[in-house]
Structure formats: structure tokens, C-alpha cells
Amino acid sequence: MLDVEAVRARFPALMATDGDGRRVVHADAPGGTQVPEAVITAMADYLRTSNANQHGPFERSRRTDALCDRVREQAASFLGADADGVVFGPNMTSLTFHFSRAATVRVGEGDELVCTRLDHDANVSPWLALAGRTGAVVRWVPLAPDGTLVTAALDEVVTPRTRLVAFPRASNAFGTLVDPAPFVAAARAVGALTFMDAVHAAPHVALEQARDGVDVLVCSPYKFFGPHAGVLSADPALLASLRPDKARAAPDAGPERWQTGTASFEAIAGVGAACGYLAEVGMAAVREHEISLSRRFLDGVERLPHVRLHGPGDPHRRTPTFAVTLDSRDPAAAAGQLAARGVQVWSGHYYAVEPMRALGLLQGGGAVRIGFAHYHGPADVDRVLEALGELRPAGRGV
């Protein structure tokens, strides 16, 4: 079992209190997680001791080279992937556009790209742009009303013309977990690439890219207790077979060929510390704890008739990220009222435009999103439930 108080003590930002000295519940993990002291220290230490560009003939540069090699290994172990295919970038969105531009040569007029109605827009817009450039057609995997993907539709949506299948490992809107297997099987059957957005999944479930057979995986360390950065991981042979946009003078081989310009080495130091932190805590312990948080929240919400949950009701099929709407309350106004009660959550569509539209929530201003991480405990869940309870419309009983 996870010792939540010991975990929390490692995160300085979680010690914040409101005006009354009450602990603030920052439940916006899907928007970005807080960082443990180890990440802050690694970043500051890098700047103090090693701040230099790569491949130089002096010690600070050599330390930067060693850091990048080491963190590539750590990231690969975190993702269940090959270190030679780990590319560092500014964020997931930039890396996905970058890869999609390089993939242009693989797509022709009348070819097909598959997207899902559950994806964040960063795993949709690059493929719409690629289709626009090439005359390819985008086909969609639909969403069921409970916020799960209708994977049975893959039989029809994936065809011999499919060149790429993009899908999420988990939804940043509804918390839905997605099994990569049917996507990988459908894509492989027609020789298409798979591109998996693991941004929302990374802080919640163990990732196994190689075992799952996913060609390209993207994630964002700032969602898994690291700094603002992005990581793309792919089969090194696939990366070598494509020609990314790059300066002529930049490296011509290996993952650095995919990194445009100078990387944020201090961020890379932080990525390594975040991977190290999670390896120490263990994803199995994280998952077990989060399932219990989800169960507590789901049970509590059932007792609040003015709160409607959008997304799976089974804690085993989801992350502890919950989209809810409240009777007669605009989501943005509700988020503001929760903030006034020391509960910090997001509202709107959070770039999950397709999912929100598919569930009919887009027009009404989206939904309130409550996102827990392993550093939350039962008391945090209860605080959120209590605050939601206080937003019951006037005249409505318990």
C-alpha cells in the first residue's frame, strides 16, 4: 500500500494552504502534475554544474552527453521501449506535428488515416493536417455514450488503404483506459503504423510499448511529475526510415536527428528524476491506490443527485480523472465556485474537442474535470465531494 502522507511530503507544492490555513486540493493532475523535490533538485543541479551544449571537448559538455544517454535509458525503461528510439522535445503536440510532417511521404491521395473520437486534439489535428496535405481521408473510431471507444468498429474503419492508426492509451477528459491490442492488431493486419498518445495514461498505468507492439508512443513528462517537456518513442528503424525536418548540420543518425535545435537539458535532467521517482514508488502501487481513490469518488458521486458523471463507472477501466456536469450550473461557473472552496479543478473541453462533441457536452461549455493523482488521499476525495455537495441547486434535498 502507498503511504500517501510520505508521498505528499516529497512534493513541496502540495503543502499549499488557503486563507484559512486549510490544505488546498489541487485536483488538476490531467492538466499537469506537481513535481517532487528530486525533480527540482535534478534540474537546479544540472544548471549549477553542467550547463553546456552537447558534443563539446570539455567536461560540462561531456556531463550533458552522459545525462542525455542516461535519461534516454530511464525513459525507455519507463515506457517499455528501446532507448535508441527515445526523442526529447518541447511537448507532445510539437513532437506529433513533427512526426506527422515526416510521415507525409508514406501517405498518398485516397489513402486513409484513422483517428478516434476519444482523442485530445493533439492526436487529431496533426492527422487532419496530414490528410489535408496529401488528399488522404480521415476515418473515425466512434465513442459510446459511456465514454469508451467502440473498438468493434475497427473491422470497418481500418481498410487496406489505412496508413496510420492514431489512438489514446487513456482519455484526458473521461479517464477511460484504452487497450492498445485491438488497434495494433487492426493496423498490423493492413501494414499501417500505430501512433499512441500516452500523455494521460503515463502517470496512472505502467506503459509497455514494445510488448504492446505500438510503433510510436508520445507522452509529456509534466503530466507524470516531471518538467514541461515531451517525449516521443519509436522503433529506431522506423525513425531511421523517415526524414524529419532538420538543419543540415544537425546529427544525421540516431534519435538526435529528430531533435530540432538545442534541447532543454535541464528539462531532460528533470525527466530522468521523474522516471527515477516513479520507478521507486512503483506503478503497481500507484495503480492500486488510484483504483481505491476512484472507487471512493464514484461511490460518493452516486449520492449526489445533482452531479452527473460522464465516463466509465468501473474503477478498473479508468484513471482517477472524472468529467462531471452539475444541474443548472455552467461548468466554468462551477469550477470557479469549487476554487472558492479550495478545490482547484479545470472546466471546458481541455482540448478534448471530439470527445466533448461526441457526448453532446461541447455546446454547454464542456464539463468540470476533477483529476486525482497518486499523491491524493481519501481526504482529498472527500473534500471534493463535500464541495460538490455544496453546489446542490437551491431547494433540492439530499
Ligand X SMILES: Cc1ncc(COP(=O)(O)O)c(C=O)c1O
* Interface pattern 12-51 for ligand X (x via CB under 6 A): ------------------x---------------------
236 Cβ partners below 8 Å, 6+ apart?
82, 84, 85, 254, 255
- 3-state DSSP assignment of residue 254: coil
Task: Classify 141 as helix, strand or coil.
Answer: strand
Query: Near ligand X by CB under 6 A, which window of 105-113, 120-128, 140-148, 291-299?
Result: 120-128
Pick 82 or 121: Cβ nearer ligand X: 121
The values of phi and psi at residue 43, to 5°, are -70, -45
- Contact between 321 and ligand X by CB under 6 A: the answer reads no
Contact call for residues 14 and 225 (beta carbons, < 8 A):
no
Identify which range of 193-201, 261-269, 309-317, 353-361 contacts ligand X by CB under 6 A: 193-201
The nearer residue to ligand X, 5 or 245, going by C-beta atoms, is: 245
End-to-end Cα spacing for the chain = 34
Select the residue interacting with ligand X from 50, 64, 74, 172 (CB under 6 A). 172
> Rounded to the nearest whole angstrom, what is the least distance from the CB of residue 253 to ligand X in the complex?
26
| 360, 151, 81, 221: CA torsion to nearest 10 | 10
Instruction: Note the helical H segments in 158-235.
Output: 181-189, 209-212
Pick the binder of ligand X from 139, 200, 296, 329 (CB under 6 A): 200
Q: How far apart are CA 214 and CA 143, in angstroms?
A: 21
Residue 92 sits in the site that holds ligand X (CB under 6 A): yes
Residue 81 or 199: which CB sits closer to ligand X?
Answer: 199
C-alpha cell, 3: 503511504
Residue 272 or 371 with smaller CB distance to ligand X: 371
Question: Is position 353 an interface residue for ligand X (rule: CB under 6 A)?
Answer: no
Cell of 148: 469508451
State the burial class of residue 58 (Cβ atoms within 10 Å of its Cβ: 0-12, 13-18, 19+): exposed
Q: Which is nearer to ligand X, 122 or 385 (CB)?
A: 122
Among 39, 113, 122, 274, binds ligand X (CB under 6 A): 122
- Work out the number of other CB atoms within 10 angstroms of the CB of residue 341: 18
- Beta carbon nearer to ligand X, 124 or 136: 124
Please say which residue, 92 or 385, places its beta carbon nearer to ligand X: 92
Stretch binding ligand X (CB under 6 A), from 48-56, 72-80, 150-158, 194-202: 194-202
How many CB atoms lie under 10 A from the CB of residue 208?
A: 14
Q: Which residues bind ligand X (CB under 6 A)?
A: 30, 91-93, 120, 122-123, 168, 172, 197, 199-200, 220, 230, 351
